[in-house]
Amino acid sequence: MKSAVIVFPGSNCDRDAHDAIARVTGEAPAMVWHQETELPEGTEFLMVPGGFSYGDYLRCGAMASRSNIMPAIIAHAESGAPVLGVCNGFQILTESGLLPGSLMRNAGLSFVCEKAPLSVANGNTRFTSRYDSEAELIIPIAHHDGNYFADDETLNRVEGDGQVVFRYGNNPNGSARDIAGIVNAKGNVLGMMPHPERAVDAKHGGTDGLALFESLLGSA
Amino acid sequence: MTQYADGITAEIVAEHGINDEEYAIILDRLGRAPNMVELGIFSVMWSEHCSYKSSRAHLGKFPTSGEKVIQGPGENAGVIDIGDGQAAIFKMESHNHPSYIEPYQGAATGVGGILRDVFTMGARPVALMNALRFGAPDHEKTTHLVGGVVAGIGGYGNCVGVPTVGGETNFHEGYNGNILVNAMAVGLADADKIFYARGAEPGQPIVYVGSKTGRDGIHGATMASAEFDDESEEKRPTVQVGDPFTEKKLIEACLELMATDAIAAIQDMGAAGLTSSSVEMADKGGIGIKLDMDSVPQREDNMTTYEMMLSESQERMLVIMKPGREDVAKAIFEKWELDVAVIGETTDTGRMVLEHKGEIVCDIPIAPLADDAPKYERPYYAPEVRAQIDAKDVAQPSHMGEVLLKLMASPNMASKAWIWRQYDRHVMADTAASSEDPSDAAIVRVHGTNKALAITTDCTPRYCFADPFEGGKQAVAEAWRNLTATGADPIAITDCLNFGNPEREEIMGQFVGCVEGMAMACKALDFPVVSGNVSLYNETNGVAIPPTPAVGGVGLIPDMDQRQGFGCMSEGDIVLVVGETKGAMGASLYLREIEGREDGGAPAVDLGIEKMHGDFVRDQIRAGRLTACHDLSDGGLACAAADMALASQCGIKLAHEPENPVPMHGFLFAEDQARYLVAAKREDALAILQDAKAEDVPVHVVGLAGGTAVSVNGAHHLELDRLREAWEGWLPGLMSSEAMAAE
């Protein structure tokens, strides 16, 4: 599967994303600089990694969502190809309108890093097909602005449509309805605050993130 | 007769921290009076912070070479060989004075500065550590400082994307007026691709990269070289402001540039910024420099040469390029949207010449600024030797479980989760053990291999205060022990020597004692010093901090699968102590927390025994015999057992034999050195005991794993649930009082 990882100034999980994808797919993803205007020919899976794009200045993800590469990311998503945004990548996807809602400052006002218990809320997406339905996972989180918010109507809709993919077991940031990850209506764009790319090796971080990348491999 | 240049008076010279004797040397070396720019440059280069003028005479006592040392002290950071053509690069540095004045930015820029020291050498930073000392928990400033420092460390490290994997946090009233913020960075590079400050030759372009120069931090190094008084708050403008986003771009851009073979020498702009970076490279290359100040990227209008040379604006580097390669740097730094400018060239004059607006505004020889800087043999006396206190001379408490609960919930022992939850410990996806894990050292995988670095920071200031020499030995020995307890081969240390005013003989005596003790331990344990930093004048209104020589130790775990923690003990495991418990209670946590006294001598460290016991433990780990291994330090055997029980979620039934000459509270809480608490399955425990007998290492069975409590001889129960609540609850309780006060 041909993959690509977007690199913004301030991205800091780009190497982790690269390594996790390479490990699972057996093929190293292309690293795409934010100034580019096209994705490499034949890109199937696209990942927007975590970090502090543009220093998180202004508002997390706001500047990245207006960068040169963004139209290509949007076009890729609209074509129905899989797009995964993790942490800052999730923020960028909400800022760009690819996903509903937004991510506010954590309810506790502090940065939170922990191995977070999650449950799979929808095991039938192309990102989660290899997980058992309602599986309990441990995936690391590390963010200051992961408090998922949307109005009630939107929350009711995404819940009703099965767009909620992951929920926190022990809500660490005040997210509405314990939402840790959501997909768009088409189901091909996933945004999540937890870092599956940090959970692909038993020697550090555990292996609960592996199935996410494996699900994609099966779906693409 | 003293001479002064126009506009300069004796008062101005004194304000620059230059005494009469030093001013006379400047006159002699220049053959004339210095102008304001030159005076400023001498002032920062000769500050204690940059020149090590009080400490240099003693730092030579450290062993600094060894089979695995690629670069010892004298460069930006130390470099060790970790096999397979790879090197680990590391250093620890203080940011004490600025962190007290402005905790968030002081701590943040401390992290930024130590990262630059490491990536300047061509390393990708892979881990951050920090050693923090705050005043008494109930001191009016403590919670504000804790909150600010922790947010600053997290704010910088999290954004830059280097995991903060471990450290230590202590509280003591001795730090009420001077907190300590010591940050350590560790990086990885290929051993044949290390970059040095030396290596520049005449006729090479000097390239400035990174952020623009502003008016912040002017005289920061001078501030860090003086005591605090009641007016210290007014020094806030000397604290720099950090921008981790720029630092992240600077890391990537520098590493990209380093891959091109265009660099002759490189140096970060830390304390004393443009001045010290250019002087260091000129001095190490034995050359001169000429800078065109009009070309320096400036953030503010009308900056003077004096301001530009003394600014400590952050996230800046100075690169001496191979001639004709300037465009390579330009392309890379412009891609990363960073400033880049050729601001001068190297010369063969041995002088620093600065030109601004068509005029030569500074022309001074390099040598007196660096190697020829003043060096003092400050007088000192060794503190009086304090008598050791034996457990037999300390009243026996009635309920050991209640004592253990009190110790584990005391400020130094209580869980620091409130702190480390705010640090990204997992970015870079190589963290195998961090603050949250039951491991005596942080463990970070060497990317793409099955090896790992073990990293620890240690120091027991109350021992150093009681007996600087034994305390210095103990700081090194504890770091060595912590690395050993994870199964690592300890390799080398960095240090951060925090003391009071060296012009006082008592303080200088503490410094010399600690250095000599550390040096002895480093030699005996084959654990050389490869980098370090000295922070003096940690003193307010004449009251000094406890002597605090923080040690940052690095070791290598050759096979990740053999790493050892203390969280996998289970029901039925035999619990053993390696090493002798004799009942040393002097300067112990027990005396301080239970009896409210801090007297007595520090526990003696027998380095030969330390090595023998450590080597024995490491062999047992590599033989795969241990389910848990934990070094014994603060609070002795009982506190180590409590840690192990909490982490393993399994109680321990300790047994104190009636014929043991050491009374029960000595057995549980004494702080004798060279000891480890280990757990093993029954058959493994037998093998361990056999090996111990053969190798003449004292190993005793002290308990059995099981149940839901820590107990002694079937009594003195402390239920783990209750212990956990108290242990986890202390720091959040303290910090929520801060939040309430703020509302």
pLDDT, averaged per 10 consecutive residues of chain A (220 residues), comes to 96 97 95 97 97 93 94 97 98 97 95 97 95 92 97 97 97 97 97 97 93 83
pTM of this structure: 0.96
Give, as one character, the DSSP assignment of residue B438. Answer: S
* Cβ atoms B317, B120 nearer than 8 A: yes
- For B560, the closest of A51, A55, A203 (CB atoms) is A203
Find the mean pLDDT for residues B635-647.
98
| A54 CB within 8 Å of a chain B CB | yes
The stretches of chain A forming alpha helices (DSSP H) are: 14-25, 70-78, 88-95, 152-160, 210-219
| A112 CB within 8 Å of a chain B CB | yes
Give pLDDT tens digits for B418-461. 999 999 999 999 999 999 999 999 999 999 999 999 999 999 99
Give pLDDT tens digits for B249-282. 999 999 999 999 899 999 999 877 899 999 988 9
| A209 CB within 8 Å of a chain B CB | no
Give contacts of A108 with chain B, Cβ < 8 Å: none
In the block, tokens 């037998």 appear at B686
Find the mean pLDDT for residues B405-430.
98
User: For position B579, what pLDDT does the model report?
Assistant: 98
Comparing CA positions, the residue from A51, A50, A209 lying closest to residue A139 is A209
Pairs of residues, one from chain A and one from chain B, whose beta carbons lie less than 8 Å apart: 91
Q: For residue B151, give how far its alpha carbon lies from the nearest alpha carbon of chain A (Å).
A: 8
Q: pLDDT at residue B122 above 50? A: yes
Q: Which residues pair with B86 in a beta bridge?
A: B190
- Interface with B, mutate which of A67, A68, A204 (most B CBs under 10 A): A204
- Cα B353 to Cα B32, B38, B291, B345, distances in angstroms: 16, 10, 6, 10
In the block, tokens 């609070």 appear at B635
Q: pLDDT at residue B743 above 50? A: no
In the block, tokens 């390479």 appear at A22
In the block, tokens 């289970």 appear at B570
Give contacts of A142 with chain B, Cβ < 8 Å: 158, 424-427
- Interface with A, mutate which of B149, B427, B436, B731 (most A CBs under 10 A): B427
| B722 CB within 8 Å of a chain A CB | no
The first and second tokens of residue B414, run together, are 């209580």
Q: For residue A130, give how far its alpha carbon lies from the nearest alpha carbon of chain B (Å).
A: 22
Give pLDDT tens digits for B600-626. 999 999 999 999 999 999 999 999 999
CB contact under 8 A, A205 and B426: yes
Give contacts of B432 with chain A, Cβ < 8 Å: 203-204
Q: pLDDT at residue B588 above 80? A: yes
Q: pLDDT at residue B417 above 70? A: yes
Q: For residue A80, give how far its alpha carbon lies from the nearest alpha carbon of chain B (Å).
A: 30
Give, as one character, the DSSP assignment of residue A51. Answer: B
CB contact under 8 A, B422 and A111: yes
State the Cα torsion A128-A131-A136-A139 to the nearest 10°: -60
Q: pLDDT at residue B678 above 70? A: yes
Catalytic positions of B, written as ranges: 49, 95
Name the A residues in 87-106 with CB < 8 Å from any B CB. Answer: none
* Cβ atoms B677, B632 nearer than 8 A: yes
User: For position A136, what pLDDT does the model report?
Assistant: 95
- For A12, the closest of B427, B431, B436 (CB atoms) is B427
Q: For residue A159, give how far its alpha carbon lies from the nearest alpha carbon of chain B (Å).
A: 30
CB contact under 8 A, A198 and B560: no
Q: For residue A186, give how far its alpha carbon lies from the nearest alpha carbon of chain B (Å).
A: 31
CB contact under 8 A, B336 and A9: yes
Cα–Cα dist B75/B255, whole Å: 18
Q: Which residues pair with B630 in a beta bridge?
A: B677
| B283 CB within 8 Å of a chain A CB | no
What b/e string do you get for A75-100 counting C-beta neighbours within 10 Å, with b at 16 or more? Answer: ebbeeebbbbbbbbbbbbbbbbebbb
Fold of A3-217: Rossmann fold (3.40.50)
Q: For residue A196, give how far its alpha carbon lies from the nearest alpha carbon of chain B (Å).
A: 10
Q: What are phi and psi of B598, to 5 degrees?
A: -125, 30
Q: Where are the domains of chain A?
A: 3-217
Cα–Cα dist B431/B443, whole Å: 6
Give chain A's length. Answer: 220
CB contact under 8 A, A56 and B244: no
The stretches of B1-69 forming alpha helices (DSSP H) are: 10-15, 20-30, 36-45, 48-51, 56-59
User: For position B373, what pLDDT does the model report?
Assistant: 83
Find the mean pLDDT for residues B11-23.
91
Range list of β-strands (E), chain A: 3-7, 30-33, 45-48, 83-86, 102-104, 112-120, 136-143, 147-149, 164-168, 179-183, 189-192
Comparing CA positions, the residue from A185, A184, A186, A204 lying closest to residue A195 is A204
User: For position B222, what pLDDT does the model report?
Assistant: 64
Closest-approach residue (CA) in chain A for B336: A9
User: For position B221, what pLDDT does the model report?
Assistant: 61
Q: For residue B335, give how far its alpha carbon lies from the nearest alpha carbon of chain A (Å).
A: 9
| A20 CB within 8 Å of a chain B CB | yes
Q: What are phi and psi of B246, to 5 degrees?
A: -65, -40
What b/e string do you get for B45-55 counting C-beta neighbours within 10 Å, with b at 16 or more? Answer: bbbbbbbbbbb
CB contact under 8 A, B158 and A140: no
User: Per-residue confidence at B547, pLDDT binned at 50, 70, 90?
Assistant: very high
Q: For residue B147, give how far its alpha carbon lies from the nearest alpha carbon of chain A (Å).
A: 10
Q: How many CB atoms lie within 10 A of CB B422?
A: 23
Closest-approach residue (CA) in chain B for A203: B432
Closest-approach residue (CA) in chain A for B245: A55
Sign for the CA dihedral angle at B658, B661, B666, B670 comes to: negative
- Interface with A, mutate which of B158, B255, B256 (most A CBs under 10 A): B158
Give contacts of B158 with chain A, Cβ < 8 Å: 52, 111, 113, 142, 144
| B416 CB within 8 Å of a chain A CB | no
- For B424, the closest of A10, A56, A113 (CB atoms) is A113
Q: For residue B161, give how far its alpha carbon lies from the nearest alpha carbon of chain A (Å).
A: 5
Give contacts of A200 with chain B, Cβ < 8 Å: 429
The first and second tokens of residue B516, run together, are 């000599």
Of B12-16, B179-183, B637-641, the poorest mean pLDDT is in B12-16
- Cα B486 to Cα B109, B400, B444, B628, B689, distances in angstroms: 31, 29, 12, 10, 20
User: For position B522, what pLDDT does the model report?
Assistant: 98
Give pLDDT tens digits for B455-495. 999 999 999 999 999 999 999 999 999 999 999 999 999 99
User: For position B224, what pLDDT does the model report?
Assistant: 61
Catalytic positions of A, written as ranges: 87, 195, 197
Question: Which secondary structure element, helix H or strand E, spans residue B663, and what is its range?
Answer: none
Angle at which helices B468-485 and B607-622 cross, to 10°: 10
Give contacts of B421 with chain A, Cβ < 8 Å: 110-114
CB contact under 8 A, A144 and B158: yes
CB contact under 8 A, B161 and A52: yes
- Cα B137 to Cα B142, B147, B462, B539, distances in angstroms: 6, 12, 17, 19
Residue type, B702: V
Comparing CA positions, the residue from B536, B468, B535, B534 lying closest to residue B501 is B536
Question: Which secondary structure element, helix H or strand E, spans residue B555, and what is its range?
Answer: strand B548-557
Give pLDDT tens digits for B486-540. 999 999 999 999 999 999 999 999 999 999 999 999 999 999 999 999 999 999 9
CB contact under 8 A, B159 and A20: no
Range list of β-strands (E), B643-729: 652-654, 676-680, 699-705, 709-712, 715-719
Q: pLDDT at residue B740 above 80? A: no
Give contacts of A193 with chain B, Cβ < 8 Å: none
* Cβ atoms B418, B731 nearer than 8 A: yes
- For A19, the closest of B154, B425, B429 (CB atoms) is B429
Give pLDDT tens digits for B42-74. 998 998 888 899 999 999 999 999 999 999 998
Give pLDDT tens digits for B371-381. 778 899 999 99
Cα–Cα dist B743/B217, whole Å: 32
Cα–Cα dist A170/B453, whole Å: 32
Residue type, B506: E
Average pLDDT, chain B: 94
Give the 3-state DSSP-derived string for B329-386, with helices as H, strands as E and coil as C: HHHHHHHCCCEEEEEEEEECCCEEEEEECCEEEEEEECHHHCCCCCCCCCCCCCCCCC
User: For position B421, what pLDDT does the model report?
Assistant: 97
Sign for the CA dihedral angle at B31, B36, B41, B43 comes to: positive
Cα–Cα dist B115/B127, whole Å: 9
CB contact under 8 A, A16 and B424: no
Give pLDDT tens digits for B199-242. 899 999 999 999 999 988 776 666 666 676 666 656 556 678 89
Question: Which secondary structure element, helix H or strand E, spans residue B667, and what is its range?
Answer: helix B664-669
| A206 CB within 8 Å of a chain B CB | no
CB contact under 8 A, B429 and A198: yes
Name the A residues in 145-184 with CB < 8 Å from any B CB. Answer: none
Cα–Cα dist A203/B161, whole Å: 20
* Cβ atoms A29, A47 nearer than 8 A: yes
Angle at which helices B505-524 and B607-622 cross, to 10°: 50
Cα–Cα dist B416/B419, whole Å: 5
* Cβ atoms A127, A212 nearer than 8 A: yes
